[in-house]
Structures are given as C-alpha cells and as structure tokens.
Amino acid sequence: MSKIFKRGASQIPQGLKQKVQRLLHKGAAGDVRAIREKSIAVTSGKGGVGKTITAVNLAVYYARKGCRTALIDLDPLSDVAALLDLVEAESAVAEAAVDPQKAQLESLVSPVFKNLDLVFPSPKLKKVQRSILLDRIYREFPGELSGSYELLIFDLPAGSDFEENLVFLPFMKTILLVTNPEPTAHAAAGAYIKRAFEVYQGLTIHIWHNRFSPDSRHEFDPKDIVGNYNRNVARELRIDDRSAARLRDLAAVPEDPALNLLRGNPGADENVLRFLLDTLMFMHEQRIASLAAATISNRTFELIRHFVNRHRTIDDTEEYLEEIGRYLRILLEQHLRGEAPSKETAGRAAAAAAAEVFTPREKNAFRAFLGGLNSDPLRQRIIRAMDLLEAKLDRLEEKSSPFAAGTAIVPDKAVDREISALLVAVNQVGRSNPLMASQGGLLLFYFSLYKLFQSRTVTGLIHSLVPAKKNSKGRVVRDRHSQIRNLVEGDPEYKSRYLKLLKTLHPVVSRQIANIVKTFDLSGLLLRDGNGTIIRSAYVKLLTNFLHDTLYSGLSVVVGFPFRQAAWAFQEGAERALQTLKRS
C-alpha cells in the first residue's frame, strides 16, 4: 500500500497524503487492513442519483442475510437516520455529532435492528471534521469496528472533492459509483472517475446503474459512462482506455416507483394501477412478438423487443427504422466492451452496425412489421389502456397525498370502458393463443381489484395493517421503521394479522372476479390447469403478493420484494458486491 498515490497527485495536500499513508502502513498487518477487507464505499459524482438509498438497501440486504453490518454515514447532505425512520437516533447522538473528537464509538452508534447499526447518524460534519473522522475511524476505532462487524457500508459525500470523498477510497476494498442513465449524471460520474484515477493507482471502480433503463434513443448509451463523458469534454480531460479498463459494471437496477421514497407512500389504489400497467406492458410485448413472428426473425426481434415496447408510437416508418438502426449500433458498441446481451445476438448487431443501414430485404421486412403494429386492433386497444392508466397515475402523483387509511379509487369511466373492451378482445384472441389468455387472466385479476378498491371499506381494511405512530407535531404518520424492521426480522403478531386480512379479502376478490366474468362472458380468462380446473391457489398467491407489495411500498427498501424486477436486479448486484470482497 506504500505506492497508493500517483506521482501526478501534486494537488493533494502533502500532510493529508502522509496521514493516509501512515494510517494504511500502521494497519497493513492489523485492524485497518482487517476492516478494509470488508468495507464497501457507496459514492457518486453528483447528488440525487440514489446513492444513499443504495447504501441503505445494501446494509439492510446484508443484515437480512445474517451479516453483522455497520452503515457508516459520512454524507453531510444525506440523512440516513431519517430514511430509516430513526428520529430518536438523531437526538440521541446530537451532542456526539457536534464534537466527534470527544465522543466514544459506542455513543456514535445507533442500533437499527438485528445485525444492523448506524454509525455517525446524520453527523452534518464540516470538511475538517470529516478529516478528523478519518483519523478516528482508522487510528482509534479499527479494533472495535473489526471485532463488531462483518461488513462496513460507507455512504460517502457526493462529488470528487479529495477531503470530502476521495481520501477514504484507499481504505475501501470495493468502490461502488452510483449513477443514472441521463447525461448530467454520466458527466458527473465521468468527472469522478477521471479525478479518482488521477490521484490513485491500481484503483478499480464498480458502476451501480440506478433507475436504469436500456432505452437508447438519440445515440445515448445508458451504460457507456466513459463514452458519454468523453464526447463532451476537451481531449486532455478525457478518460483514457487504460483507466476505462478498470471500470466494472456491477448492477443495473430499474426504476420502481412503488419502492421510491420520493414518490411518497402509495396506497392500494395507486399500486393496483401500477400492477395493471405492468400487466399491459407485458401483454404489449407479447403482442409485438406475435406480430413479429410473420416477418422478423426471432434473433432480430430479441434485439429490438425492448426498443419497440418502449417506443410504441410509430408516426414515421422511415424515421423509426433509422432509430432502430442507431439502437443496434449501440448494442454492438456494448458487445465490443463485453456487455452484449449474448453471443448469439451480438452477430446480428455487428452486421447492422457494419452496414450502417438495413439491407433492402430487411427494410421491407421491418416496414411490413411496423405496418402490422400500427394496424393491429388489439395492440391499439392495449396502447389506449396504457395511456389512460399512465395519465391516471400522473394525476395521483400530482396530488402527493400522504399514506391515509381508507383512500379509495375515484371511478374513471374511460378506464373501466377501455379495459373491459380489452378483456373481451383478449378473451377472443386467447382461444388460439394460450400465452395471451394467461396474461388476460392476470389483467382480469388486477381489474377486479381495481373495481373492488373503489370501496373505501375495502381499502380501509388494507391500510389498517400499516403501523402508525405520532410524529413530533402530534400527527399520526406511517411507522416506516417498524415496517423495515419487520422485513428484516419478521413479526409473528403482524404475520397473524396479515393472514387474517388475506382470509377476509380472498372470498371478496373471488366474488368480484366472478361478477366481471359473468358480465362480459370472460370464462376463457380464468386461470386453469391442464384439466380445465380453476387454479384457486394461483389467485391466493396473486393476492398475497399484491398485499405485500402494497403494504411495504414507499419505504425505499427493495429487499423483501421477491416478485419485483428492481428487487431481483438489486439482489444480483448486492451478491456481486459481496464477491468483490472475496477477491484478492
């Protein structure tokens, strides 16, 4: 560790460089090295990209796995204690946070729940004080930290200031740089990477793509941080190939509004709209696949499926074809960086990029395909239903209402009419398309919930299971800390109440489904097994998953959601981060 700084890092104060070297040297065979081997830094080039939420979720995830975890809050602009709903923790450590030079470690630790402690809760420290914390963590506290915890997650301040952020990097085994797929976030991430590599040698940075979407319109590659950064800076400021080779993509976690703290506390009425919309998006994708089968090869369709599903309006066929070509060229660039979806699809992307344009035969096939998309009545019905639901969700979000018991859906005749007509159309298509019939069965289930939640009594039953407490102003608010604790530790009493609610709601939902089936003659959309028997257990599972997602939405916690895409992606990234700690 003696050659951690690059020769060109002359802009770093010599005294601070010596302190870092001294602390690392002192701990080379002792406690500093021990805690370094189990330390993960979560950082970002700018604020607002989800850095702190990522750090908190990693800590919660590892604690839930049984690892004794410390979440160390070094960001003066974040409030981890508030995010975890630990209001009492802030007041308990207020004096210690003001004077970190005198406080002992135990007074700077706030237990969150089993296996998770928050260290330096909401310190709001000035730059010089964080320099003091560096000294205290690695000179006075390393033995205690090493003996008490198996993992340490550091929430570093945003930006590339040395004393605020970069000074901690040599003490980290793994560095996670959080960013979003948008130009300003990539510009800030690129600047951070450039500065970090200018200061340190032998550094590896792992990229955590948050709120990720593979949308690649206008030649913006959502994973190409280096390319997007280099295109907008002077040549001397660009990240060179050797530095770029030390970057590793670790995670790509998609946006999930139902799990986003910034979206407030969505209730059953909002969540059922999201479940309906998710189902419609999958139906749209399946319909596109069905129409593609007659004109487009499976290999080509796998490449463009996401693009066509996201960009569903086709106003100008020729312009749309050009955009698909640009999209395929971006896939080739990803392949050249080792990020292609698969070897099988890479060849097709390479051919499209090399040719720059489609062959006449390919163009004709795509024109026929796009024409079929625009003229298909079922697809147009699906799109109209999606547009209505998105507009309704936008109106709900604009209200920004708090999590209130008894909220009911305001009836919307346009939504009712469009989804009812769509169910009838899907029922007809489903007679010859089993996959579309099963998706129609899901749509029928969530539409039944949607109708049911127009009753304040029903939504009141669900929201009554959300724990509440009084805040400092005496108002009753959601007890988010209790819910997060329950996700990690479990609560037998809560589980009993949850099962009671499930038993109460299941027959009510079943009757609602039966009424809609009878009204619109939709028996073909009931979920059945190979013998034609209705799979009642499937409806119980669907209701169970919906209730779980609804009760825990809005916590900004992605663990404990086994059926959410964001939760799957987060878990994969968290496990990869663990693996980086095990590498030499």
pLDDT tens, residue by residue, 348-357: 444 444 444 4
pLDDT of residue 336: 54
Predicted confidence band at 404 (pLDDT cuts at 50, 70, 90)? very low
With a cut of 60, say whether residue 347 has pLDDT above it: no
Q: How far apart are CA 260 and CA 557, in angstroms?
A: 8
pTM score: 0.81
Chain CA centroid to CA 165, Å: 24
With a cut of 80, say whether residue 123 has pLDDT above it: no
Residue 238 token pair? 């660009």
* Contact (CB, 8 A) for 307 and 262: no
The 8-class DSSP code of residue 240 comes to P
Residue 300 token pair? 């080509």
Backbone angles phi, psi at 164, to 5 degrees: -85, -35
* Contact (CB, 8 A) for 193 and 243: yes
Q: Between 100 and 394, where is the model more confident?
A: 394
With a cut of 70, say whether residue 346 has pLDDT above it: no
281 membership: H or E segment, kind and range: helix 268-292
Question: Judging by DSSP bridges, how do beta strands 247-254 and 174-179 pair with one another?
Answer: unpaired
Instruction: Report the range of poorest mean pLDDT among 60-69, 94-103, 315-324, 520-529.
Output: 94-103
Backbone angles phi, psi at 545, to 5 degrees: -65, -40
Return the closest-CA partner of residue 541 out of 483, 502, 576, 571: 502
Return the closest-CA partner of residue 132 out of 107, 97, 159, 106: 97
Return the closest-CA partner of residue 415 out of 435, 395, 436, 439: 395
Instruction: Report the range of poorest mean pLDDT among 18-32, 307-321, 361-375.
Output: 18-32
Mean of pLDDT values over 386-394: 90
Mean of pLDDT values over 17-28: 77
Predicted confidence band at 302 (pLDDT cuts at 50, 70, 90)? low
Mean of pLDDT values over 98-116: 77
Q: How far apart are CA 158 and CA 164, in angstroms?
A: 8
With a cut of 80, say whether residue 129 has pLDDT above it: no
Q: Hey, which bits of 324-397 come out as E strands?
A: none
Mean of pLDDT values over 326-340: 62
* Percent above pLDDT 90 for the chain: 37
Q: Which residues in 215-241 are b (16+ Cβ under 10 Å) and which e? A: ebeeebbbbbbbbbbbeeeeeeebbee
Mean of pLDDT values over 160-174: 91
Predicted confidence band at 28 (pLDDT cuts at 50, 70, 90)? low
pLDDT of residue 122: 58
* Contact (CB, 8 A) for 220 and 183: yes
Q: Which amino acid is at 255?
A: E
Share of the chain residues as helix, strand and coil, in percent rounded to the nearest 5: 60, 10, 30
Kindly report the number of other CB atoms within 10 A of residue 344's CB atom: 12
CA distances from 383 to 261, 264, 278, 282, 288 (A): 28, 27, 12, 12, 12
> What's the N-to-C CA distance of the chain in angstroms?
14
Instruction: Report the range of poorest mean pLDDT among 222-231, 346-355, 424-433, 520-529.
Output: 346-355
* Percent above pLDDT 70 for the chain: 82
pLDDT of residue 548: 86
The 8-class DSSP code of residue 246 comes to T
State the chain's mean pLDDT as an integer: 82
With a cut of 60, say whether residue 335 has pLDDT above it: no
CA distances from 16 to 156, 162, 246, 269 (A): 18, 10, 25, 55
pLDDT of residue 331: 66
Q: Hey, which bits of 126-243 come out as E strands?
A: 151-155, 174-179, 205-212
pLDDT of residue 297: 67
Domains present along the chain, CATH in parentheses: 14-256+576-582 (3.40.50.300), 261-557 (no CATH)
pLDDT of residue 584: 62
Positive/negative CA dihedral, 289, 291, 293, 297: negative
3-state class (DSSP) for residue 29: coil
Q: How far apart are CA 96 and CA 111, in angstroms?
A: 15
